[in-house]
Chain A
Amino acid sequence: MPLVTPGFKGRGRSSDPKLPPGQYLVTDFPVLSAGPTQRVDTPDWEFQVKTETGKVTSWTWESFRALPAERFTTDLHCVTKWSKLGTHWEGVSLDNLLAGIETAAEFVLVRSYGGYTTNLPLADLLGGKAWIAYRYDDKDLPREHGGPARLLVPHLYLWKSAKWVRGLDLRTDDQPGFWESLGYHNYGDPWQEQRYWGD
């Protein structure tokens, strides 16, 4: 039983079943980034998937946008405690993007413009659970939220959904990314409240 905080009443008693433990609801869309917002224009944008054998597959903005896209609605959970429910996106499913790629890799290191990285199991990118998203709320994704395109893996804390994504390294070993090397949980399941090392 946690310690009662004297005089604290709180106000959110809705116990929304969509809200993971320790999270609170927001209606705006906070911006969190560890450094300057990246400015990548679509003519210069390139996306690469590199397998464990070193084979590279590349897309330009044009060839990426020619892939089948989907619209989807999902909930976002940030490790800094806010959650935003029912957000509307458009993007390319990773199932589509990785369909023709042969790999025995079990892990992925995601790389972004500006040097950000994050890691996760390949299985978490497949099965309709992850997208490269380029539209939010029926508009082009703003740069501050990762435009022109960001990874979206909404079943994990939002730091896994790398902004300004530029590529995936498919790996046989699991290499911790940026926040994962700085004390944040290697997997980051909001429903298990896996915020930090040891959670």
Chain B
Amino acid sequence: MAGTAVLGGLRWLVATVTELRDETTTARTIVLDVPGWPGHQAGQHVDLRLTAEDGYSTERSYSIASASHGEHIELTVQVVPDGEVSPYLGRVLAVGYQIELRGPVGGWFVWPATSSPNPTVLYAGGSGIVPLMAMVRARALLGSAVPFRLVYSARRPEDVIYGDELAGYAATDPGFTVSYVYTREGPADSSRRPGRIDEPTVSHAEFGRDSDVFVCGPNPFVETVTRLLGKAKHDPRRIRTERFGSQGGTS
């Protein structure tokens, strides 16, 4: 179960863009129709292969944002201004375009859905929300009552991805809560001064030290959260991380 790569290899599939949604000024969701898609676990990613007309080709990995549901997947791409691939995906790619991908990839940073009755805490830093959103959506799709808490760190309220959908779950599902940490600028009515995630925001005492924790974001964010969890004596075997960027890099 854990290793979901298909025996005999992961084939390259041809996906067609069926919808594009701007989530923020710099993040865009790409809905893909992928004939032959085998399904995925929440938290897994895909490898995309982009090929220019002269045959130059490059690959990148992107987390899947959607819960497994037929042969459609959704990716949410944060445009990195000086990137080679994300500006293409975020600004050039259009409905009807085709792109090669293979997956799903990764069998560790996944929410085990039905096999896990454990309360689960998700810590998202910036676009690290994407694989965690797949977990939130998978739980909703299953109608699972497993308690979920999402702590989402963003620079400003306008940088929050999936805000309305998350508010909808929080309003209708007593088992799901979401709280925000703003690092640069918070809403006017916020009692917390803007700043990086800290001890008061990294606490989920009522979930217990053996709850499952998923942390995804820029490396400094993940380091801070896991260090504070260690200080709170959270069971390290229950903490799964996925990181991007380098040591001491900024979000």
| Residue B116 is within 8 A (CB to CB) of chain A in the complex | no
Partner of A197, one of B3, B50, B226: B3
CB neighbors of A among B6-24 (8 A): 6-10, 12, 14
B8 to A198, Cβ gap below 8 A? yes
Q: Knowing A30-B244, A183-B105, say if A10 contacts B58 (CB, 8 Å).
A: yes
B247 interface residue (CB < 8 Å to A): yes
Query: In the complex, are the beta carbons of B3 and A182 less than 8 A apart?
Result: yes
A115 CA / B238 CA spacing, docked (Å) = 12
Contact flag A35-B92 (CB < 8 Å), given A3-B51, A10-B52, A198-B6: no
A33 to B105 alpha-carbon distance, docked (Å): 16
**How distant is the Cα of A114 from the Cα of B241 in the complex, in angstroms?**
13
Interface string of A161-199 (1 = CB under 8 A from B): 000000000000000001101111000000000011111
- Taking CB atoms, residues of chain B closer than 8 Å to A115 are 237
- Across the interface, B84 reaches (CB within 8 A) one of A7, A11, A29, A32, namely A11
Closest to A185 in B: B5
- Cβ contacts under 8 Å, A142 to chain B: 247
Q: State whether the Cβ of B223 lies closer than 8 Å to any Cβ in chain A.
A: yes
A2 on interface, CB distance cutoff 8 Å? yes
Whether A30 and B56, one on each chain, are in contact in the complex, defined by CB atoms closer than 8 angstroms, is no
Known pairs A4-B53, A10-B50, A183-B105; A198 contacts B60 (CB<8 A): no
Given A10-B52, A197-B3, A198-B7, does the pair A182, B243 have CB atoms closer than 8 Å? no
Q: Determine which of B57, B237, B246 lies in contact with A2 in the assembled complex, contact meaning CB atoms within 8 Å.
A: B57
Q: Tell me the complex Cα distance, A34–B110, Å.
A: 11
Q: Is the CB of A196 within 8 A of B246?
A: no
Segment 213-242 of B: residues with Cβ below 8 Å from A: 219, 223, 226-227, 229-230, 236-237, 239-241
Is B219 within 8 A of A31, CB to CB? yes
* Chain B positions within 8 Å of A145 at CB level: 247
Q: Are A181 and B3 in contact (CB under 8 A)?
A: yes
A31 in contact with B51 (CB, 8 Å): no
Bound complex: CA of A40 vs CA of B229, how far in Å? 17
B residues contacting the other copy or chain, number (CB 8 A):
55
- Which residue of A32, A182, A184 has the most chain B CB atoms within 10 A of its CB atom? A182
B26 at interface by CB-CB < 8 Å: no
Q: Using CB atoms, name the residue of chain B closest to A22.
A: B59
- Residues on the B chain within 8 Å of A196, using CB: 5, 9-10, 105
* Residue of B49, B56, B244, B249 with most chain A CB atoms under a 10 A cut-off: B56
- B50 and A183: CB pair below 8 A? no
Q: Would A182 and B107 count as touching, CB distance under 8 A?
A: yes
Q: Is the CB of A29 within 8 A of B3?
A: no
Are the CB atoms of A36 and B230 closer together than 8 Å?
Answer: yes
Residue pair B49, A81 in contact (C-beta under 8 Å): no
| Closest partner residue, chain B, to A193 (CB atom) | B59
Q: Is A44 part of the contact surface with B, judged by Cβ < 8 Å?
A: no
Residue of B nearest to A181 (CB): B3
- Asked if A2 contacts B100 (CB within 8 A), the reply is yes
Say whether A12 faces chain B, with CB atoms less than 8 Å apart: yes
A6 to B8, CA, bound (A): 30
Instruction: Decide: B105 and A31 in contact? CB cutoff 8 A.
Output: no
Within 8 Å by CB of A4, from B52, B229, B243, lies B52
The chain A residues found within 8 Å of chain B, CB to CB, are 1-13, 22, 24, 28-37, 39, 80-81, 114-115, 142, 144-145, 178-179, 181-184, 195-199
Q: Knowing that A29-B247, A36-B241, A183-B3 touch, tell me 5 more A-B residue pairs with CB under 8 angstroms.
A: A5-B52, A7-B92, A7-B94, A31-B243, A198-B10
- In the assembled complex, 13 residue pairs joining A and B whose CB atoms fall closer than 8 Å, in A order, are A2-B51, A4-B52, A5-B100, A10-B56, A12-B84, A22-B58, A24-B60, A36-B239, A144-B219, A196-B10, A197-B3, A198-B6, A198-B10
